[in-house]
Structure 1
Amino acid sequence: MGVAELAAGVLGRTSASPLLAVGSGFIDLTPIWLKDFAIRRFGDDDKTVLLIGLGAGITIAALAVGLLSRRRLGWGLAGLAAFGIVGMVAALTRPVAEPVDAVPSALGSLAGMAALALLAHRPPPSALGALTGKTAQVLLARRPQPSPATAPGTAAPARGEATEAAVLNEKNGSEPRSSGGAGPDRRRMLVTGAGVVGVAAVGGVLGRILLRRGDVSSVRADLRLPRPASPPRRVPGGAQVRVPGMTSFRTSNRDFYRVDTALVLPQVDPRDWTLRIHGMVAHPVEMSFDDLLRRTLIERDITLSCVSNQVGGDLAGNARWLGVPLAPLLREAGIHGGADQILSRSFDGMTLSTPIETILDGRDAMLAVGMNGEPLPIAHGFPARMVVPGLYGYVSATKWVTDLKVTRFATDQAYWTKRGYAERAPIKTFSRIDVPRPLATVKAGRIAVAGTAWAQHRGVDAVEWQVDNGPWRQARLAPVPGLDTWRQWVAEWDAAPGSHTLRCRATDGTGHTQPEHREPPFPDGATGWHSVVVTVT
């Protein structure tokens, strides 16, 4: 693994790292239920957990290879060859794979085989120590007899006795010991093992350092974005409900949720970045990042949410996005009749599909370059990403975007639609209780019940809340700058002692009310009333 990481670092190919390639392949093969469990259980740490699990699996497999090699060296070598083949296949099946990506896994496998052969090698025994059977008996029979002057206990053992001891040791399978106390085989094993560990550690660390040499953090820090020609609407006073523990109306870049398949964040230098618009268009377009920044920029407050968000979940965030409107770009390219999809591609090969009508219907769909007043964080798509209000992220929010193909759903399928998710995925009307928290204990008397609701591009017109199957009550809605952000709500409750269940439901601008029955996120988003149980003392 150390040699393979070093080779990937020398090549500058993150996708060629066997650990990352196998991890990405595992993500591709992960069943939907396991993916949802990982996101629900580990959140933003799901990739760290995956890498730790892969490391543990590799360690167990390496132990198995070592045990097999004790029985027969060929079995251990075959196991290491299998390691290499798995790594090569995983690397070559990545969306951005090149033939050279197979090299690190191949070199790593060969290095492992060489290390195993070196560790398992035993030097041939001495000629005398190897003597057995009749030859040893003859030598023993010919040994000189001790004289009284050299009787045991009075002098060093006779030469014949030393020979006999060596033969007996050989017959018993033991090694003659040196005066230092450690056998030469043990000493050689320790030295060789330390050397192998050193090569592995140095190779792995150096490989990681080399792979990070493309880090664009400093480039991002030096980037200055133009001011928008169309500034955002003012966020009205009162948009933030002032209740202790309440969610912030605007989500900070650090706290904004992250759900993607990238085990290592793509490092895209804006000086090298290009965007290609092609497919079913009259005039294919290719532009640089500077070209993009010279266009008209808009800035809007928009809430994004993930299709994996469970009822009451927190995989949603509200930010101020700066970007270039998408609709004019597509119209300039000249969309052919019959096209109904934008297949967007990320720098790392991820593909997402977006219905064309949601870009052309007047909403603020954009190629975003800024987030909350600064260039996009690397984790959120630097230098450019898609943002389309009203759609779940898997059909609208391509990070590190580099390619837009105008096509048809019947012709091209994106990553998630191949796995059974819906082609068109408008965000469902959703509300949750943020305060009090589930299983909280509160004091009897008047307390605040507050939460967040969203129905991007339709808006939230009402939120109702309920205690213990009692009557539904209207909550007070906070003002918002537009239809594309979430909306906070608050109510007052005269809480009596005991255990109580609180529920909420929202109604959007079209008159649709959040349904009671819960449905899982797959294939087009979760539904159902959110409820929390609290204890009043």
Structure 2
Amino acid sequence: MIRRTLAAAGTGLLAAAAGVAAAELLATATRPPAAPLVAVGATVVDGAPTPVKEWAVRTFGTYDKPLLLGGIALALAVLAAVAGVLARRRPAWRLLGPAVLGAVGVGAVLTRPDARPTDALPALAGAVVAAGLLRRLPLPGLPRARPARTAEPSGPTRRVLLRNATLVALGTALAGAGAGVLRRANVADAARSRAAVRLPAPASPARPVPAGVAPGFRTPTAEFYRVDTALTVPRLDVDSWRLRLHGLVARPVELRFADLVDRGLIERDITLSCVSNEVGGPYVGTARWLGTPLAPLLRAAGIRAGADQLVARSSEGMTIGTPIATLLDGRDAMLAVGMNGEPLAFEHGFPVRMLTPGLYGYAGACKWVTELEVTTFDAFDAYWVRWGWARQAPVRTASRIDRPAPFARPAAGPVTVAGVAWAQHRGIRAVEVSVDGGPWRPAELLPTASTDTWVQWRYAWSAPPGPHSLRVRATDGTGAVQPEQRRTPFPDGATGWHTISVTVR
């Protein structure tokens, strides 16, 4: 009995694996966003409550996406095994099981923001393949169809099961390998497209970083944080990329990549931070960005009276809503095409992303942008606003201790306490350090490039032996002091003083 149950479960797994491989092969060959597994994962992300999303980002960082896809694959395997066992007992499940799983895939694909009707075909094909295999493969305990009055064994022999399993596994492996080959070819094509980009010199270069800046002022691209909902990184072709600007404008326009860069580029050092960043967290970084200023582009399109929101849409359907007033107030909001002297990395939005100094990324930094719609906040709620995040998202004043590390054991005597503080577009006026709850002492501020970047700071501490607590706070350019009260990132950014414990030897 146990052997038959395990064999039936294995048959269900084989059928499901073959169906998934067929769906992935078809999606990869036609339209990668139609892949059912990724669509189901994206639907799970969209449907997860905000606290769950925050916990995933906080706990797993950039590993949250592969872990989610792995979890979905595991859940699918369990359901497929159960379907195989049920099919052994009730033949109707040979069709019902694949039909249910196929319906889930079709529903997930067709409800994606950028869905097309034909996107349902890979999930349907996968369900047909799985159902066909469950119907054709003999299941232990279910007799094959036979002529009347002909006695046959109650189930297939072990040799038949092994042969069928081998053939299905071989076909699944071939389909999976084919999907992998096509995927690698798509990646290679996108890499060649990016490598062919030659960015012109900026019409307005960035000011030189002042002397005295410490190492680490600018974050290397490979170390720059990434927080987004894309389960697979979009890899767009620069030649076919288009940007559509429309909505409440007098003169809608569609731009190619060459049109965008021909408008003249600006180069700026800008610090970006994610609203998901906890107090003292890592989701903040500074890079040298190259892009087309947004304000002249919007003014040329002719913004109609009453418009107060610019909605940016990415190639994978994400929507980011930005107050138009912040884009026209003189800050260096841009459609970025370069990062740290190179075209954008795919993970950071190639070929074009939007960024707005002084706003959290969810309200001003759309990656893989393909559409800009001028509208109103009353008419449309962007993705994160629908989940309860604030419409207006100015970056909160924040500071962080980077040295010494938490729970470090420095030697007694002179110890340099150092870190960064940021309040983009307002700047940092002062940073103070308190030891063991004592009085606040001013830290030294190192030179910085502009109010749109973080400020490095350091404090000379004569450290006595024993356990100690260090905390930091910053004052922004308006004179407002960073609040002490601890608040979680939801709904408009974390607050509180970063505090660490060390033991001086």
Please tell me whether the aligned partners of residues 239 and 487 of structure 1 are also in contact (alpha carbons under 8 angstroms).
no
Task: Report how far residue 403 of structure 1 moved.
Answer: 0.8
- Residue equivalent to 2:170: 198
- Residue equivalent to 2:3: none
Please tell me whether the aligned partners of residues 505 and 529 of structure 1 are also in contact (alpha carbons under 8 angstroms).
yes
Once the two structures are superposed, residues 314-340 of structure 1 have per-residue CA deviations (whole angstroms, 9 ceiling, x without a partner) of: 101100000111000000001111110
Q: Go from structure 1 to structure 2 and tell me whether the alpha carbon gap of 1:489 and 1:110 turns closer, same or farther (over 3 Å shift).
A: same
Please tell me whether the aligned partners of residues 94 and 135 of structure 2 are also in contact (alpha carbons under 8 angstroms).
no
User: Is residue 63 of structure 1 aligned with residue 81 of structure 2?
Assistant: yes
User: Is residue 130 of structure 1 aligned with residue 102 of structure 2?
Assistant: no
Q: Which amino acid aligns with 2:280?
A: G
Task: Tell me, in whole angstroms, the C-alpha distance in 2 between the residues paired with 1:206 and 1:306.
Answer: 38
Please tell me whether the aligned partners of residues 421 and 522 of structure 1 are also in contact (alpha carbons under 8 angstroms).
yes
- SS at 2:41 equivalent: helix
Match of 1:5 among 24, 32, 47: 24
Task: Report how far residue 488 of structure 1 moved.
Answer: 0.7
Question: Identity over the aligned pairs, expressed in percent?
Answer: 54
User: Is residue 186 of structure 1 aligned with residue 158 of structure 2?
Assistant: yes
Task: Tell me, in whole angstroms, the C-alpha distance in 1 between the residues paired with 2:346 and 2:92.
Answer: 46
- SS at 1:73 equivalent: coil
- Residue equivalent to 1:110: 128
- SS at 1:300 equivalent: strand
- Residue equivalent to 1:80: 98
- SS at 2:92 equivalent: helix
User: Is residue 475 of structure 1 aligned with residue 463 of structure 2?
Assistant: no
Q: Which amino acid aligns with 1:24?
A: A
Q: Which amino acid aligns with 2:202?
A: P
Task: Tell me, in whole angstroms, the C-alpha distance in 1 between the residues paired with 2:150 and 2:310.
Answer: 77
- Residue equivalent to 1:40: 58
Task: Report how far residue 77 of structure 1 moved.
Answer: 3.0
Please tell me whether the aligned partners of residues 73 and 120 of structure 1 are also in contact (alpha carbons under 8 angstroms).
no
Task: Report how far residue 444 of structure 1 moved.
Answer: 1.5
Task: Report how far residue 123 of structure 1 moved.
Answer: 4.1
Work out which of the two has the higher radius of gyration on C-alpha atoms and give 1 or 2.
1
- Residue equivalent to 2:5: none
- Residue equivalent to 1:353: 321
- Consecutive unaligned residues in structure 1, runs of 5 or more: 132-169, 176-183, 242-247
Q: Which amino acid aligns with 2:357?
A: P
Once the two structures are superposed, residues 361-415 of structure 1 have per-residue CA deviations (whole angstroms, 9 ceiling, x without a partner) of: 0010111100000001111111111111000000110111111111100001111
Task: Report how far residue 72 of structure 1 moved.
Answer: 1.6
Q: Go from structure 1 to structure 2 and tell me whether the alpha carbon gap of 1:414 and 1:190 turns closer, same or farther (over 3 Å shift).
A: same
Please tell me whether the aligned partners of residues 138 and 144 of structure 2 are also in contact (alpha carbons under 8 angstroms).
no
Match of 1:209 among 156, 164, 181: 181
- Consecutive unaligned residues in structure 2, runs of 5 or more: 1-19
- TM-score after normalising by structure 2: 0.92
Task: Tell me, in whole angstroms, the C-alpha distance in 2 between the residues paired with 1:44 and 1:279.
Answer: 34
Once the two structures are superposed, residues 280-320 of structure 1 have per-residue CA deviations (whole angstroms, 9 ceiling, x without a partner) of: 11111111111111111110000000010000001011000
5 Å matches for 1:318-397? 318-397=286-365
Once the two structures are superposed, residues 240-278 of structure 1 have per-residue CA deviations (whole angstroms, 9 ceiling, x without a partner) of: 16xxxxxx1100110000111111111211111111111
Please tell me whether the aligned partners of residues 369 and 384 of structure 1 are also in contact (alpha carbons under 8 angstroms).
yes
5 Å matches for 1:353-502? 353-502=321-470
- SS at 1:120 equivalent: coil
Once the two structures are superposed, residues 89-130 of structure 1 have per-residue CA deviations (whole angstroms, 9 ceiling, x without a partner) of: 000001111111111111111111111122235446899993
Q: Which amino acid aligns with 2:129?
A: A
Q: Go from structure 1 to structure 2 and tell me whether the alpha carbon gap of 1:72 and 1:224 turns closer, same or farther (over 3 Å shift).
A: same
Task: Tell me, in whole angstroms, the C-alpha distance in 1 between the residues paired with 2:212 and 2:75.
Answer: 52
Please tell me whether the aligned partners of residues 311 and 530 of structure 1 are also in contact (alpha carbons under 8 angstroms).
yes
How many residues align structurally? 481
Task: Tell me, in whole angstroms, the C-alpha distance in 2 between the residues paired with 1:47 and 1:474.
Answer: 41
Q: Go from structure 1 to structure 2 and tell me whether the alpha carbon gap of 1:128 and 1:335 turns closer, same or farther (over 3 Å shift).
A: closer
- SS at 2:245 equivalent: strand
Task: Report how far residue 73 of structure 1 moved.
Answer: 2.4
Task: Tell me, in whole angstroms, the C-alpha distance in 2 between the residues paired with 1:499 and 1:113.
Answer: 65
Which sits farther off after the overlay, 497-506 or 454-463? 497-506
